[in-house]
Amino acid sequence: MVNQSGKTVSNDDIICFLKEQIKYKEMCQKILSQRAIDRAVRERKISVTPEEIQAEADRHRLARRLEKASDTLAWLTDEMITPDDWEAGIKQHLLAKKLADALFSSEVEKYFAQHKLEYEKVLLYQIVVPYERLAREIFYQIEEEEISFYHAAHLYDIEPKRRELCGYEGKLNRSHLKADIAALVFGATPGQIIGPHKSDLGYHLFKVEEFISAELTEERSQQILNKLFQEWLASEVNYLLHNAPC
């Protein structure tokens, strides 16, 4: 039973609510995720120390500005959990992190090398206008240096925000662009004007300012590690979901 302000909520109430909100499967998947992690952790004899749990709890308190023990207890009470519940959750988080490292830390560099093109970026400018004839006129004016690409974007682009930014789209990787546009842009050379290219939005002109090589930074390494771990976990949960009761 859950009791809050004198009112009780039974386990059956929670289950019925989850089913009514079509959240029951999602909750089962989260529970099965934890079961899969627990099993893999046991098989690999992975553990965390009390000191590691304490350090992580301190980081949580700092993030929530819980400076006093009384502040932490008040927060836990408001969340309707006990200190033991909180510690168990921290322990599970740390075990999952160590499991991810154990399973995939040695695979990160290989994955990055195989998918390096996906992480390359382009600093891109764009002009979109409604008519092909106008797009071609702008293209030729830019080629003849009668107007700069940036000034043309400021004058003619159909989108107010991009006009304000003189056509600036930002630093984009391939996944930010449609496949046909990505092929054009990443096949160009810096400074080249591309287009007109027709889409549902209108007629596009592109300018590649520069290409940004992909690097395996610490942040990207963690992203790849998380991706590999989540893919593994999804596969484990799918198996459990179809072979074991929630």
Q: Which residue has the tokens 């930002």?
A: 170
- pLDDT over 80 at 2, yes or no: no
Cα separations (Å) of 225 from 40, 56, 114, 221? 17, 20, 14, 6
How do residues 189-231 score in pLDDT, each as one tens digit?
999 999 999 999 999 999 999 999 999 999 999 999 999 999 9
pTM for the predicted model, two decimal places: 0.74
Q: Which residue has the tokens 């940004």?
A: 212
CATH 3.40.50.2020 correct for 121-212: no
Give residue 169's pLDDT. Answer: 95
DSSP, res 187: T
How do residues 117-126 score in pLDDT, each as one tens digit?
889 999 999 9
Give residue 8's pLDDT. Answer: 81
Angle at 54 between CA 50 and CA 55, to 5 degrees: 120
Give residue 242's pLDDT. Answer: 77
Give the bridge partners for 8, in sequence order: 3
147 close to 93: Cβ distance less than 8 angstroms: no
Tally Cβ neighbours within 10 Å of residue 237: 20
Give the percent of the chain with pLDDT over 70.
Answer: 96
- Find out whether the peptide bond into 190 is cis, omega within 30 degrees of 0: no
22 Rama class: left (phi>0) / alpha (psi -120 to 50) / beta: left
35 close to 233: Cβ distance less than 8 angstroms: no
Range 154-166 burial, b when 16+ CB lie within 10 A, else e: bebbeeeebeebb
* Sequence spans of domains, the chain: 36-110+222-243, 121-212
H-run or E-run covering 123: strand 121-129
Give the bridge partners for 121, in sequence order: 173, 212
Query: Residue 11 — pLDDT band, cuts 50, 70, 90?
Result: confident
Half-sphere exposure of 143 (CA within 13 A, CB side): 12
183 versus 243: the higher-pLDDT residue is 183
Give the CA radius of gyration of the chain: 27
Query: Residue 4 — pLDDT band, cuts 50, 70, 90?
Result: low
Question: What is the distance of C-alpha 168 from the center of its chain?
Answer: 23
How do residues 32-74 score in pLDDT, each as one tens digit?
999 999 999 999 999 999 999 999 999 999 999 999 999 999 9
How do residues 123-160 score in pLDDT, each as one tens digit?
999 999 999 999 999 999 999 999 999 999 999 999 99
208 close to 184: Cβ distance less than 8 angstroms: no
